[in-house]
Amino acid sequence: MNRWKGKLIGFLLGLLTRRIQFIVLGLIVGHLYDMGVFDSTPRTAAPTTSPPEDPYQVLEVDPKASDDEIEAAYRRLIAQYHPDKVDGAAAEIRELAAKRAGAINAAYDAIQKIRRPS
C-alpha cells in the first residue's frame, strides 16, 4: 500500500511557512513517517529456526488416520512438492520445493517412528 498521509501533512505544514526549504523538509519528514522510521515498535529479526511442526499437520492428516491414509497423504504431497517437478523453475522455487519435500519426508519418518518404535 502506498502511504501518502505523512507526505501530505509535511507538505501542508511546510506550505504554512511559505518557504521552499520547509516545504521540502516537511515532505522528507512526511516520507520518513510513512516509511515507519518513527514507529516505537522495535524491529527484530525473524527467528532463524522454526519450532518443530506436528508431523500429522505437515502431512495434512488426522492423528487417528490409518497407516494407509498416512501413506496416501505422504505419496500425494511428495508427488506435489518433489523438487524434480520444478526442475526448470527459478532457483527460489526449487529451494522452497526442496525444503517442503524435506519437511514431508521428516514428518513421514517421525510418524513411522511413533507408530512402529524399534
Tell me the three state secondary structure of residue 116.
coil
CATH class of 55-115: mainly alpha
Asked if residues 65 and 107 have their Cβ atoms less than 8 Å apart, the reply is no
Quickly list DSSP for 39-59.
Answer: --SPP-PPPSSPPPPPHHHHT
Domain ranges of the chain: 5-35, 55-115
Q: Tell me the angle at which helices 20-35 and 5-17 cross, rounded to the nearest 10 degrees.
A: 160
Per-residue pLDDT for 111 more than 80?
A: yes
Tell me: the pLDDT tens digits for 63-90? 999 999 999 999 999 988 888 887 777 8
Asked if residues 92 and 83 have their Cβ atoms less than 8 Å apart, the reply is no
Q: How far apart are CA 93 and CA 86, in angstroms?
A: 7
Cell numbers for 54, please give them. Answer: 506436528
pLDDT band at 37 (very low <50, low <70, confident <90, very high): confident
